[in-house]
Structure 1
Amino acid sequence: MSGGRSGAAGMRIGELARRAGTTVKAVRYYESLGLVTPARRPNGYRSYDGADLRLVQEIRALKRLGIPAERTRPFLDCLTAGRSHADCPASLAGYRDAVAELTLRIEELTARRALLTARLEAAAQPGAPLTEESGTMDDHLTLPAGLPVPEDDGAARHLPGTRMPPLALPDTADGTVRLGALGPGRTVIYVYPLTGRPGTDLPEGWDAIPGARGCTVESCGFRDHFEELREAGAAGVYGLSSQDTGYQREVVERLRLPFPMLSDPGFALAGALDLPTFEAAGRRLYRRLTLIVRDGVVEHVFYPVFPPGEHAERVLEWLRGRRGAVA
């Protein structure tokens, strides 16, 4: 903002926050994103004017619509230029993306409500068995009690500080993802062994292998926390396993995942980064771990991962603890 400043007569940050209906902390966060750039008084204090107030109010309004502050820049640029959103293609695209994400979320909640309703109706009928349609307790969304806890064998200690290799892996969006060129910011890549399918048996002895069971609930966790992860600074989220792209695509569609899954049947990433794997029923599979990649380098690794159903929340907590640390 270069014009229209009111100098020493401008607002202090507390007054701006009060008039915008937000907090001082939130305003400072918007400044850290470069969305609001106040003038400085001779004594060094920030000075805000009416234009800054309109920007903060716009961010707040968009946030109530489900658009996080990190994605409001096109709208703010349009407002600053004195144009309506109808005249700003980037703003229209932002609205379309928000509508698509909301539609996906509604579909997810509708499916969850249907499952809960079916379970309630089944539970209300004494002696009625729970079927797959009513939400069988013996499915991939429910973990059995007493699963063995994996121990840290040190197989991932070498990963922090390692640069991602120049590999291109196929994704479920009919494209490829270049792991060595993920771009700026933090990318979450959760690596897992094998996603089960309803009605398909898992490998023999699967539940006895520490850390093997729980790939579906882990993916659902990242699905349910996807928007929060992005708000916390995740530029991208990917799931990765050795299953082929067709198998992965079915998982994305069935679980309604809002992010792509990567396929690495040749264990190229395992070879490049020396990732841990294991054998089950004669098959080589990835051990469960999660990489946080920042600017092409592994910044952090979660290993071992347990319980898998709570892992997305742990990643979210870690990202929130480092929010604003990305230049």
Structure 2
Amino acid sequence: MRISELARQAGVTTKAVRYYESLGLITPERLPNGYRNYDEDDVRLVREIRTLHRLGIRVERTRPFIECLAAGRAYADDCPASLASYREAIDELTERIEALSARRATLIANLDAAAHRCSGVVPPEEKDTGAMDYLTLPANLPVPEDDGAADHLPGTRVPGLALLDTAGRTVRLDTLGPRRTVVYVYPLTGRPGTDLPEGWNSIPGARGCTPESCGFRDHFQDLLEAGAGRVHGLSSQDTGYQREVVERLGLPFDMLSDPDLTLADALGLPTFEVEGLRLFRRLTLVLRAGVIEHVFYPVFPPNEHAEQVLTWLREHPL
């Protein structure tokens, strides 16, 4: 057969066949006119080379297997030299795995250090312009009162709403499975250089979305170890705005965007209005198998809320 037919049957390119031939792994018959003529044995050899290469054995090191077949063995790894090649390939993979594991550990350490770097220091240039420090809470913030607006939520089934997350995926809260999902709902996060609504600090429970997100970031791994399958923040801000927050704060989880407050309307979640904006009141839902298992409301202080959720998860193991 011609080289193109061999390549087709063996599932490789003609270029690969020529490379195998240059290494002496296959030696086709030469016809009087100079053309190469390949047979079924060559097809078997090329298939073997391809299989070994996919297992991580370099083409140049498949020779013991090819020679084993050429010696009449039924399998390419029936010979001692083939077994030795297996061991060498395993040793190389082990070294690569160890190197990758070391790199992964370093990346995890860097991520952990960055995730806990929640400094409340405002750069001098921002202090000069009177920029607000969104990472710390001012003293004497009004404490929100429990008005009973969330009493009906425990045991309620979550509606089948599709919300977009900051990774560009569609998330349905009613199909997240039997593991617990923590969804902390907040009004809006501030951004350096952007003014918050007038009188924001005087609205009970409004201020503190950024410190709250930092808290869930810093305790993210602890929450998973305590039984949370996943964590999401949720607000009415659009996905692009939330994506900037995720990147700026180094959040290890995705935010959910509900610009029309469809979840509030479906579940009767408490909301408030300021400067013509309708916003979520701060609360946290613990979901399990499409049902609200627990509700934190009101939430205060927001910068300590992740620890409150962590304590509840540890005290109520599945």
TM over 0.5: yes
Structure 2 CA distance, aligned partners of 1:266 and 1:101?
36
Computing the radius of gyration from Cα coordinates, the structure with the larger value is: 2
1:283 equivalent to 2:277? Answer yes
Structure 2 CA distance, aligned partners of 1:162 and 1:104?
36
Encode CA deviations 1:51-108: one digit per residue, 9 max, x unaligned: xxxxxxxxxxxxxxxxxxxxxxxxxxxxxxxx99x68xxx999988766543322333
Encode CA deviations 1:209-238: one digit per residue, 9 max, x unaligned: 100000000000000000000000000000
TM-superposed deviation, 1:317: 0.2
What residue in structure 2 maps to residue 309 of structure 1?
303
Encode CA deviations 1:133-161: one digit per residue, 9 max, x unaligned: 89x89410111111111001111000000
1:273 equivalent to 2:267? Answer yes
Answer with 217-226 or 176-185: which moved more.
176-185
SS of the residue corresponding to residue 223 of structure 1 reads helix
1:145 equivalent to 2:124? Answer no
- Which of these residues, 161, 164, 173, is aligned with residue 167 of structure 2? 173
Which amino acid in structure 1 is aligned with residue 156 of structure 2?
Answer: T
1:103 equivalent to 2:107? Answer no
Structure 2 CA distance, aligned partners of 1:270 and 1:133?
37
Which amino acid in structure 1 is aligned with residue 314 of structure 2?
Answer: R
The 5 Å alignment of 1:134-283 reads: 138-283=132-277
SS of the residue corresponding to residue 126 of structure 2 reads coil
Sort the Cα spacing of 1:235 and 1:284 in 2 relative to 1 into closer, same or farther, 3 A.
same
Sort the Cα spacing of 1:100 and 1:177 in 2 relative to 1 into closer, same or farther, 3 A.
farther
Sort the Cα spacing of 1:94 and 1:304 in 2 relative to 1 into closer, same or farther, 3 A.
farther
What residue in structure 2 maps to residue 127 of structure 1?
none
Q: Given the two structures, how large is their TM-score scaled by the length of structure 1?
A: 0.63
Q: Given the two structures, how large is their TM-score scaled by the length of structure 2?
A: 0.65
Structure 2 CA distance, aligned partners of 1:95 and 1:318?
34
SS of the residue corresponding to residue 132 of structure 1 reads helix
Contact 2:235 2:259 in 1 (8 A): yes
Which amino acid in structure 2 is aligned with residue 164 of structure 1?
Answer: V
List gaps (5 residues or longer) in structure 1. 1-82, 123-129
Contact 2:183 2:286 in 1 (8 A): yes
TM-superposed deviation, 1:131: 4.2
TM-superposed deviation, 1:166: 0.8
Answer with 100-109 or 138-147: which moved more.
100-109
Structure 2 CA distance, aligned partners of 1:231 and 1:94?
21
Sort the Cα spacing of 1:95 and 1:312 in 2 relative to 1 into closer, same or farther, 3 A.
farther
Which amino acid in structure 2 is aligned with residue 180 of structure 1?
Answer: D
Which amino acid in structure 2 is aligned with residue 261 of structure 1?
Answer: M
What residue in structure 2 maps to residue 297 of structure 1?
291
What residue in structure 1 maps to residue 79 of structure 2?
none
Percentage of pairs with the same residue: 66
List gaps (5 residues or longer) in structure 2. 1-89
Contact 2:174 2:290 in 1 (8 A): yes
SS of the residue corresponding to residue 106 of structure 1 reads helix
Which amino acid in structure 2 is aligned with residue 260 of structure 1?
Answer: D
SS of the residue corresponding to residue 199 of structure 1 reads coil
Contact 2:286 2:294 in 1 (8 A): yes
Contact 2:217 2:251 in 1 (8 A): yes
TM-superposed deviation, 1:264: 0.1
The number of equivalent residue pairs is: 227
Contact 2:131 2:193 in 1 (8 A): no
Which amino acid in structure 1 is aligned with residue 256 of structure 2?
Answer: L
TM-superposed deviation, 1:173: 0.7
